[in-house]
Amino acid sequence: MKYIALIYYDPAQEPQSGASMNEAYFDLNRRAVEAGVLVAGDALHPPATATTLRVRGGRTETMDGPFADTKEQLGGYYIFDCPDLDSALAWAAQIPSAQVGAIEVRPLIVFE
Tell me which residues touch other proteins (CB under 8 A).
Answer: 1, 3, 82-86, 88-89, 106-107, 112
Residue (44 or 105) nearer to other proteins, CB = 105
Q: In the bound complex, what is the minimum distance in angstroms from residue 82's beta carbon to other proteins?
A: 8
Cβ partners under 8 Å of residue 38, min gap 6: 29, 32, 78, 79, 80, 81
Query: Which lies closer to other proteins via its Cβ, residue 34 or residue 86?
Result: 86
Nearer to other proteins by C-beta: 43 or 93?
93
**d(C-alpha 4, C-alpha 41), whole Å:** 9
Q: Is 41 helix (H, G, I), strand (E, B) or coil?
A: strand
